[in-house]
């Protein structure tokens, strides 16, 4: 997992491999261009195209960050897929930040370019990572006839409203209990100064037992896992000290830039604050959290009364969403669960940015829409956001292809998936950790995520 500097943080983008490979090395056609709204696109087609197009949706790009068109999760995966006969395509989206509004039409326009310049695919599979996983799910929801299948990876599939509401819960608790109410949790006017102040308060808190207990409470309200380093084993569930230290790392390096800085970009495009916590019972939320036992233990160790802090949260002034901004975030996007093509999602279990519990939310809404037979979900036991190896990504895509060709979900046990990924060889069983290729054995496992704490979809809104 790469954690870039604050100014270049691209945390919602799947880990980008730094190995020097070019997709054009195995592509017969390499097509680039610009769409009518200024977004760029890239298309790669192998000499022996098998008729399947993979449309890749990239993840979040920090406001104003470098935003090239991308048609694969990483060069290793892209080159493998081209060599296997798949065509690849993807766009940059016309804007950075929470660009769902621009991404969906830009991806559909890129499909139009492909059809004009290359031809009509026999099948088209949508795939993407992080915010791109959200966009992938949005594409098949809004344009179901354009696709034959989808693989949303580490996706924001709990929907925009629930995701930002859950982030607000953590912000609210941190600001109330550790920052003295001095931070802007919504309506952020100076994002840089706001983030600097939040991180200063976080570092002060980490220096005391009481501060650590309250950091754990903050993390618990977002279901932040107590596992940060993808090269280390997961700490024991009762190793509360280590788990809190890892949660501190998630907050400091990844989560706080989003909630105390990048939230301002979302508010700007939405025309106000789209998040709310009026009516939320934080005792109830905490009891549902995967980190509840940790919070209780650390409060006891610090000599703090958890009920007192929960009472403080209960009495603190709540936040209401601006109606127009909430409507914007509903549009871009929440889910109705209606999927008309096979969908295979994949998530790491130790994801501290896009909680794995979002997969529970997506499965729930698909089940309510009575389309659950078309959905399968697989999980990788590893810390990190989108911390998949090329072998795991290829295995997921091949599993969807097998479903499309056979009409049935097959070979999806962890043993089957791990064997298939292992057979791809050591060069593809690597992950990117701070710009370095690190060997990583396939880590598919049987896993059932807990309930997403702030579910909000077309059934529950």
Q: What is the pLDDT of residues 210-223, one digit of tens each?
A: 999 999 999 999 99
Asked which of 7-11, 29-33, 247-251 is least confident by mean pLDDT, the reply is 7-11
Label residue 410 by pLDDT band (50, 70, 90): very high
* 240: preceding bond cis by omega (within 30 degrees): no
Label residue 13 by pLDDT band (50, 70, 90): very low
Label residue 27 by pLDDT band (50, 70, 90): confident
Q: How far apart are CA 36 and CA 26, in angstroms?
A: 29
Provide the mean pLDDT of the chain: 94
% of the chain residues with pLDDT over 90: 92
Q: Taking 60 as the threshold, does the pLDDT of residue 197 lie above it?
A: yes
Q: Quote the tokens at residue 281.
A: 């019972």
Q: How far apart are CA 87 and CA 84, in angstroms?
A: 9
Q: How far apart are CA 124 and CA 318, in angstroms?
A: 45
Overall residue count recorded for the chain in this entry: 461
Label residue 15 by pLDDT band (50, 70, 90): very low
Q: Taking 90 as the threshold, does the pLDDT of residue 331 lie above it?
A: yes
Q: What is the pLDDT of residues 146-195, one digit of tens each?
A: 999 999 999 999 999 999 999 999 999 999 999 999 999 999 999 999 99
Label residue 26 by pLDDT band (50, 70, 90): low
Alpha helix segments (H runs only) across 332-430: 358-368, 390-406, 414-423
Q: Taking 70 as the threshold, does the pLDDT of residue 72 lie above it?
A: yes
- Domain coordinates of the chain in residue numbers? 6-158+335-445, 160-329
Q: Taking 50 as the threshold, does the pLDDT of residue 296 lie above it?
A: yes
pLDDT at 22: 56
Q: What is the pLDDT of residues 229-268, one digit of tens each?
A: 999 999 999 999 999 999 999 999 999 999 999 999 999 9
Q: Taking 80 as the threshold, does the pLDDT of residue 1 lie above it?
A: no
Cβ–Cβ < 8 Å for 153, 127? yes
pLDDT at 19: 43
Architecture of domain 6-158+335-445: 3-Layer(aba) Sandwich (3.40)
Q: Taking 70 as the threshold, does the pLDDT of residue 14 lie above it?
A: no
pLDDT at 106: 98
Label residue 5 by pLDDT band (50, 70, 90): very low
Q: Which residue has the higher pLDDT, 20 or 101?
A: 101
pLDDT at 24: 57
Q: Taking 80 as the threshold, does the pLDDT of residue 326 lie above it?
A: yes
pTM, rounded to two decimals? 0.95
Q: What is the pLDDT of residues 298-318, one digit of tens each?
A: 999 999 999 999 999 999 999
Cβ–Cβ < 8 Å for 58, 42? no
All residues at 6 or more sequence positions from 255 whose CB lies less than 8 Å from its CB, including other chains = 167, 170, 222, 224, 352, 353
Beta strands in 79-168 (DSSP E): 87-91, 123-129, 149-153
pLDDT at 7: 37
Buried b (16+ CB within 10 A) or exposed e, 250-262: bbbbbbbbbbbbb
Label residue 9 by pLDDT band (50, 70, 90): very low
Q: What is the mean pLDDT of residues 415-427?
A: 98
Q: How far apart are CA 291 and CA 412, in angstroms?
A: 29
Residue carrying the six token digits 């919504």: 186
Label residue 28 by pLDDT band (50, 70, 90): confident
User: Radius of gyration over alpha carbons of the chain, in Å?
Assistant: 21
Label residue 435 by pLDDT band (50, 70, 90): confident
pLDDT at 434: 87
pLDDT at 39: 98
Cβ–Cβ < 8 Å for 101, 269? yes
Give me the sign of the Cα torsion angle 382, 387, 391, 393.
positive
pLDDT at 11: 36
């Amino acid at each position: 997992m790469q954690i870039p500097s604050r100014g270049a943080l691209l945390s919602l983008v799947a880990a980008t491999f730094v190995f020097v490979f070019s997709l054009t090395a195995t592509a017969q056609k390499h097509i680039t261009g610009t769409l009518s709204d200024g977004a760029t696109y890239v298309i790669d087609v192998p000499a022996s195209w098998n008729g399947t197009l993979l449309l890749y949706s990239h993840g979040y790009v920090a406001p104003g960050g470098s935003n090239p068109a991308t048609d694969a999760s990483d060069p290793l995966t892209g080159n493998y897929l081209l060599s296997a006969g798949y065509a690849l395509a993807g766009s940059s989206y016309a804007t950075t930040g929470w660009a769902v509004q621009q991404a969906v039409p830009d991806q559909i326009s890129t499909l139009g370019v492909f059809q004009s310049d290359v031809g009509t695919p026999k099948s088209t599979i949508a795939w993407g990572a992080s915010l791109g996983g959200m966009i992938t799910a949005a594409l098949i929801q809004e344009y179901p006839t354009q696709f034959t299948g989808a693989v949303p990876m580490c996706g924001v599939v709990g929907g925009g409203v629930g995701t930002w509401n859950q982030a607000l819960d953590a912000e609210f608790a941190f600001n109330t209990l550790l920052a003295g109410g001095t931070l802007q949790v919504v309506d952020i006017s100076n994002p840089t100064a706001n983030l600097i102040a939040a991180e200063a308060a976080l570092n002060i808190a980490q220096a005391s037992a009481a501060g650590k207990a309250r950091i754990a409470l903050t993390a618990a309200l977002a279901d932040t896992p107590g596992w940060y380093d993808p090269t280390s084993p997961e700490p024991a569930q009762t190793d509360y000290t280590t788990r809190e230290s890892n949660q501190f790392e998630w907050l400091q390096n990844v989560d706080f830039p989003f909630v105390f800085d990048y939230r301002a970009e979302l508010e700007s495009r939405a025309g106000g604050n789209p998040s709310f916590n009026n009516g939320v019972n934080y005792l109830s939320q905490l009891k549902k959290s995967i980190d509840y036992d940790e919070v209780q233990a650390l409060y006891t160790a610090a000599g703090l009364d958890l009920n007192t802090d929960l009472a403080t949260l209960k009495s603190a002034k709540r936040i209401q969403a601006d109606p127009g901004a909430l409507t914007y975030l509903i549009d871009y996007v929440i889910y109705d669960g209606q999927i008309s093509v096979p969908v295979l999602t994949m998530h790491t279990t130790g994801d501290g940015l896009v909680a794995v519990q979002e997969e529970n939310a997506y499965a729930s809404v698909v089940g309510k829409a009575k389309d659950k037979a078309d959905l399968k979900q697989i999980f990788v036991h590893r810390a990190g956001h989108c911390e998949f190896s090329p072998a795991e990504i290829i295995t997921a895509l091949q599993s969807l292809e097998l479903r499309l060709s056979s009409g049935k979900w097959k070979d999806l046990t962890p043993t089957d998936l791990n064997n298939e990924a292992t057979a791809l060889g050591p060069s593809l069983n690597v992950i990117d950790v701070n710009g370095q290729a690190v060997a990583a054995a396939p880590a598919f496992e049987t896993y059932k995520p807990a309930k997403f704490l702030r579910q909000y979809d077309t059934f529950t809104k």
